[in-house]
Amino acid sequence: MGFGKNDVKRAADRVARASGLAAHEDRRMIRAAYAGILGREPNADEVAHWQAEIADGMTWERFITLMRTAPEFAGGQLKAIAALDGAVEVALVGGAPVGGRPIRFRAAASDSVVLPSLLDNNGWWEHHVTRALMAIVRPGDVVVDGGANAGYITVVAGALTGPTGAVVGIEPAADPRAWCEANLALNGMDHGSVLPLGLWDEPTTLQIRVVQGATTAAHLVTDPSLPLAENEVAVDDIPCTSLDALVDDGRVDGSRLRVVKLVVQGSEPRALRGMRDIADSGNAPYVICHVNQRCLAQLGHTPADIASELDALGYRMTVLPKQRQQQWFAHLPPEAELPDLGLRKVDDLAALVAGLPAADDPIEVLALPA
């Protein structure tokens, strides 16, 4: 069932052999990959798009991986699993103990984002973020998982904090929140909770857009008149709050808060603005912040807004690279703190993001307390 890195390379070789052509003959390779993996012919626009990506340096392994993770491929491959019981349970991080215990994760078989990655990567998802948590979080700490989705990071963080600590997931969408709660229960994590809230810079109510049947990508909107995307539904009057307010009302223990993870689909600048008291408390946590240009633009933000808020909070920025992104950031000076993570110092986040070779590939910033 797994489909790992070596399998990707073998798939690329098989496509090359099946085409009967050298790998540099891009057009025929692209068509062979579509036929072999997606079971159809690409249209002219798709061929032109991938030709341009390959001309810009995309490897064939990366191209095959994108084909493998395309929604139309994942949906077809998971039909047999979905027909069994509608859910799949996976041992996380290769079944190795986390915080002294093995942890498991259950997801809807129809999930085309987290589940395929877990199956392909021996129980790992967001490897770079997982490693960062393992390097930073200790028993007794408190972690906030902003944008918890189905709870992969929530469960990993809960294992690292242990029962003497706490993990607080924040997830405004009902379906992924239910999965997150179920995954905490699956692992016996009574020290974990999931709040039915959106993260903002003040208490309010907002509309949320949810993709039907998905456990990711729910996002807040400030303009309910915006047209719905495909398969999206709108849910009104979602309660939102700030991280400072959660500390003030006792739902988050600010005195032990070690990490705040923010993957909130474009709301990151507002969520950061809502933790100024936390940053000024003398016990500022590490912040792992998602930077996705498209999601930010939906709320009228840019990467510069994230940089501005982090600067106002007194943080210094580093980029936390995925394995395949490391070459993009090799020109940046290395950060001495947490050397095993391969962090790179960032002075101008907006310029860095603008110069990325793949504009639609999000990055993570690890903000370090001063």
Q: Which two tokens stand for residue 143?
A: 């972690």
- In whole angstroms, give the CA distance from residue 212 to residue 157: 27
In a domain, 77, yes or no: no
In a domain, 98, yes or no: yes
CATH number for position 157: 3.40.50.150
DSSP state of 95: G
In a domain, 81, yes or no: no
- In whole angstroms, give the CA distance from residue 253 to residue 155: 18
The pLDDT tens digits of the residues spanning 165-219 come to 999 999 999 999 999 999 999 999 999 999 999 999 999 999 999 987 677 778 8
Domains in the chain, number: 2
For residue 86, what pLDDT is reported?
64
Strands 257-262 and 286-291 come out as parallel
- In whole angstroms, give the CA distance from residue 126 to residue 149: 13
* Count of Cβ atoms closer than 10 Å to residue 70 Cβ: 15
Phi/psi at 238 (5° precision): -80, 125
Strands 198-199 and 219-221 come out as unpaired
In a domain, 332, yes or no: yes
The pLDDT tens digits of the residues spanning 339-361 come to 999 999 999 999 999 998 877 78
Q: Which secondary-structure segment (H or E) carries 233?
A: strand 232-241
For residue 168, what pLDDT is reported?
98
For residue 17, what pLDDT is reported?
43
In a domain, 74, yes or no: no
In a domain, 34, yes or no: yes
For residue 291, what pLDDT is reported?
96
Q: Does one domain contain both 210 and 293? A: yes
Q: Which amino acid is at 143?
A: V
For residue 39, what pLDDT is reported?
76
- Domain containing 46 equals 5-68
Q: What is the pLDDT along the chain (370 residues), one digit of tens a residue?
A: 444 445 544 555 444 444 433 334 678 778 877 877 777 888 888 888 888 887 777 766 567 767 766 777 655 544 444 444 467 788 999 999 999 999 999 988 777 788 878 877 889 999 999 999 999 999 999 999 999 999 999 999 999 999 999 999 999 999 999 999 999 999 999 999 999 999 999 999 999 999 876 777 788 999 999 898 888 899 999 999 999 999 999 999 999 999 999 999 999 999 999 999 999 999 999 999 999 998 999 999 999 999 999 999 999 999 999 988 999 999 999 999 999 999 999 999 999 999 988 777 899 999 999 8
Task: From 238, 213, 210, 209, select the one nearest 225 (Cα to Cα).
Answer: 209
For residue 46, what pLDDT is reported?
87
- In whole angstroms, give the CA distance from residue 283 to residue 262: 18
Q: Does one domain contain both 54 and 176? A: no
